[in-house]
Amino acid sequence: MPAYEVPRSLIEASLAELAAIYRWVNDREDPNNPVTVLIGGWAVYCYNPWYGSIDIDLVTNSRTRQHLMRHLVETCGFIRRRNPPFRNSIVKVTPQKGEIIIDFISRDERNCFEGRNESCPMTLLNGRTIEIALSTDSPVTIPERTLLLLLKVKAAWDRAYRLHQHTSDNEDWEKGKLRKDRADILSLIDPHHGGKELDLMYLGSMMQEYPFLLEVLSIIPHDRDAIQMYGHMDREAVHNMIEDLLSLIR
């Protein structure tokens, strides 16, 4: 599987943009009733700072999306550009010779699974978010760990399906992102880095709702690239951890 190779300077630039975005968001939203939720790799980083991301994935309502996109385009050097499968995205080309992509997802998004009728709606976020410090002046709202894990497993399912069906716009990049998704999943489950905080009752109920996602978890111990990328566990430890988890949530 192709490597997900991103310069550290680009990841740091993405983090700086994220901090600035949340200063803007926090000036306008009630922390007791957050509208904008960070998901994806940067949300994973808040639980286990093993890597980070260059993409910034934000779930919000249409009003905030429109105002924030306008602010970023007019004052921060972003441009509008399509980024399938997302409908609302902006991109910034950085001095680090890479792109920072911000994808906006609606709070009402059905979030359908690739190749299936089921959906993983963003309304699942309601009542299942926490506020956590990204930096001293930029707290962010993210999903609870178990829900974030579900969203990451869903992302891995979608990427694997697109690759299998050859419907990806850039298969090499998608393969690298699938490796990163699986490594992020490991980072959320890792018992030495907070994985013991997972709500197994909730995760088990979600796996009953979406039993096909068990396949996503069961394949990870066979993905040497993802295990190597995460780098905090050997293959035997990953195998045992996944087997233990599956035995508890099936």
In this structure, what DSSP letter does residue 35 have? -
Please list the rounded mean pLDDT of every run of 10 residues in the chain (250 residues).
78 95 95 94 97 96 97 96 83 87 96 97 97 85 99 98 94 95 99 98 98 98 98 98 97
* CA atoms 224, 230, 232, 233: torsion sign: negative
Residues with Cβ within 8 Å of 159's Cβ and at least 6 positions away in sequence, in order, are 168, 174, 177, 178, 181
* CA atoms 246, 175, 108, 42: torsion sign: positive
The reported pLDDT for the residue numbered 3 is 64
The reported pLDDT for the residue numbered 82 is 81
In this structure, what DSSP letter does residue 112 have? B
On whether the CB atoms of residues 122 and 105 are closer than 8 A, the answer is yes
The reported pLDDT for the residue numbered 108 is 95
On whether the CB atoms of residues 181 and 44 are closer than 8 A, the answer is no
The reported pLDDT for the residue numbered 184 is 99
The reported pLDDT for the residue numbered 84 is 74
Residue position matching structure tokens 């905030």: 64
Query: Is this prediction's pTM over 0.75?
Result: yes
On whether the CB atoms of residues 106 and 122 are closer than 8 A, the answer is yes
